[in-house]
Structure 1
Amino acid sequence: MLPWKRVLRPLTALLLTAVVAVVPAATTAQAAADAPSSGWNDFACKPSAAHPRPVVLVHGTFANSVDNWLALAPYLKNRGYCVYSFDFGQLPGVSFFHGLGPVDKSAEQLSAFVDKVLGSTGAAETDLVGHSQGGMMPRYYLKFLGGAAKVNALVGIAPSNHGTTLGGLTQLLDYFPGARDLLSANIPALADQAAGSAFLTKLNADGDTVPGVRYTVLATKYDEVVTPYRSQFLSGPNVNNVVLQDLCPLDLSEHAAIGLLSRVAFHEVTNALDPARATPTTCASVFG
């Protein structure tokens, strides 16, 4: 084995461990079956006048359309939204964890799913809410696949907008020729999200945003996966970058919890989806 491969193997393991460690344990098939019965992924749902756009939830790396949204999907449904989620970025032989394939191909899957949702609801536009990769990947859809004409707002929860150093670990990839290629061949989404990747260079060239879409970024200063956490922020018009602890210093959510559990973050999501009815997000928002 080449010397650099001896280093890359544990590095890859660390990358996997860091991401998998913040993904919840596998849910049962019954959890997926229960989602439509509660109104989540109900393709008979028709948006109301109060909430005229369906909401598409976009999961993160090593996640799926159920586990990532066990709390936020019902939270939004109970507030009158038509809510949908889908699986993307599947790899052969991996049946539960998704968001692993090339990010540009995942964006194509998002495009097809948005068309399905718009077709069933009759809405002209949708709103997108994504966690981690799911907050970044839609930007490719908006910028390169015509999504800007079909999307009103993108809310990114701890999004990997400018990649991650994973606490400095991904920088080691550049010391070993072919290391990024090897990672890309096995888990393309991880390679695409490493800071400085060719994918991110293309995505962020000529500006972070596209006209006609409102962007919200919700970040936590305790994020241990997308680092540094301020790399999640976007620049451009119609952008609102928010640090969770500026709203509630007592919220200690890290990368996983901000998308899975934080009611403070959930309240800010609803504000971003319906700014005309927004109310202040504070530590007391958990009671809203």
Structure 2
Amino acid sequence: MSHWRRIRSLRRSLPALALAVTAVAAAMAPVTASAAPDESAADQSATSSGWNDYSCKPSAQHPRPVVLVHGTLGNSVDNWLGFAPYLVDRGYCVFSLDYGQLPGVPTFYGLGPIADSAKQLSAYVDRVRTATGAAKVDIVGHSQGGMMPRYYLKFLGGAAKVNALVGLAPTNHGTTLSGLTKLLDYFPGAADVLAKHTPGLTDQVVGSAFLTRLNEGGDTVPGVRYTVISTKYDEVATPYRAQFLSGSDVKNVVVQDLCPSDLSEHVTIAMTDRVAFHEAVNALDPEHATPTTC
């Protein structure tokens, strides 16, 4: 693409970004993330589908409860309508939380500062451990929810309480959002507006202060097994290889390497992709793993 064609393409994109920035600024009051939200409604809804049942006791076959961590703009129920029942049907005790809520913004979570969200995860893991009697949990997270637990593991003592972290399309090293984040440079003050009103978004932009601190000194901590499950068709956590982790106990998987016809993108890999589901279960129970195919 020539220089002038790039300029024309950029100009066509600017109104959409300007509208998004303006909408965020108008809709969000200048507030910080609230404390852990009331989870009673989510608990009731999920329990009716077989998860968030605090009377569940892990079996000898699956001795650790699984904590599901939704992605940005997701919530504890909708993000897991496919995968949570999949785990329950296989005998796991399954739990999910809402985190990162901004006051006045219902339904859509994961917008608060990620460091604060990690504290909410820490409290929730303790709640699950107390209810189930399990010494450790396994965590499966989608998008931000696959990356945010790494802060908990690294800085909040989570490594002693977590056996494995499985990330479905996690934003481990940030995202360019298919190049759209670069447009912020052309709007003076736009990045500051987004950081002020939706810090959970800007914390995930490539090169953010949050990600710089998170990844300093290595991607992983000892004692935790890490699995990253990605799709090459991801249009949100881009480039998709930036999702991968480096470390001694890490497995990075691309679903198309297991099933070339898999067309899942960023959302469907966590909601409907049985290839990703099967590989996630393999990561939770590697001693009984079976080949993942189409």
Q: Can you give the 5+ residue segments of structure 1 that lack an aligned partner in the other structure?
A: 16-28, 284-288
State the alpha-carbon separation in 2 of the partners of residues 85 and 141 from structure 1.
Answer: 16
The aligned residue for residue 191 of structure 2 is: 180
Q: How far apart are residue 12 of structure 1 and its match? A: 3.5
The aligned residue for residue 3 of structure 2 is: none
State the alpha-carbon separation in 1 of the partners of residues 16 and 92 from structure 2.
Answer: 48
Q: 221, 228, 240: which is aligned to 1:210?
A: 221
SS in 1 for 2:178: helix
What do the CA deviations read for 1:239-262 (whole angstroms, capped 9, x no partner)? 000001000011100000000000
The correspondence of residues 193-208 of structure 1 with structure 2, limited to 5 A, is 193-208=204-219
Contact 1:8-1:179 within 8 A present in 2 as well: no
State the alpha-carbon separation in 1 of the partners of residues 18 and 121 from structure 2.
Answer: 32
Q: 84, 88, 97: which is aligned to 2:95?
A: 84
Q: How far apart are residue 30 of structure 1 and its match? A: 9.1
The aligned residue for residue 35 of structure 1 is: 46
- The amino acid across from 2:73 in the alignment is F
Q: TM-score, with normalisation over the residues of structure 1?
A: 0.88
The aligned residue for residue 286 of structure 1 is: none
Contact 1:101-1:189 within 8 A present in 2 as well: yes
The correspondence of residues 91-240 of structure 1 with structure 2, limited to 5 A, is 91-240=102-251
**Two-structure CA RMSD over aligned residues (Å):** 2.2
Q: Structure 1 198/31 Cα, relative in aligned 2: closer, same or farther at 3 Å?
A: closer
Higher mean Cα deviation, 166-175 or 195-204? Answer: 166-175
Q: Structure 1 182/136 Cα, relative in aligned 2: closer, same or farther at 3 Å?
A: same
Contact 1:39-1:45 within 8 A present in 2 as well: no
State the alpha-carbon separation in 2 of the partners of residues 127 and 219 from structure 1.
Answer: 19
Q: How far apart are residue 14 of structure 1 and its match? A: 10
State the alpha-carbon separation in 1 of the partners of residues 22 and 252 from structure 2.
Answer: 32
Q: 64, 74, 85: which is aligned to 1:63?
A: 74
- The amino acid across from 1:261 in the alignment is T
Matched, 1:9 2:18: yes
What do the CA deviations read for 1:1-40 (whole angstroms, capped 9, x no partner)? xxxx98862464799xxxxxxxxxxxxx998644213430
State the alpha-carbon separation in 1 of the partners of residues 202 and 62 from structure 2.
Answer: 37
Matched, 1:269 2:280: yes
Count of equivalent residues: 267
State the alpha-carbon separation in 2 of the partners of residues 224 and 241 from structure 1.
Answer: 18
SS in 1 for 2:252: strand
Q: TM-score, with normalisation over the residues of structure 2?
A: 0.86
Matched, 1:248 2:259: yes
Q: Can you give the 5+ residue segments of structure 2 that lack an aligned partner in the other structure?
A: 1-13, 25-39
Larger Rg over CA atoms: 2
Q: How far apart are residue 177 of structure 1 and its match? A: 4.7
Contact 1:11-1:169 within 8 A present in 2 as well: no
State the alpha-carbon separation in 1 of the partners of residues 110 and 235 from structure 2.
Answer: 19
Higher mean Cα deviation, 229-238 or 6-15? Answer: 6-15
SS in 2 for 1:138: helix
SS in 2 for 1:111: helix
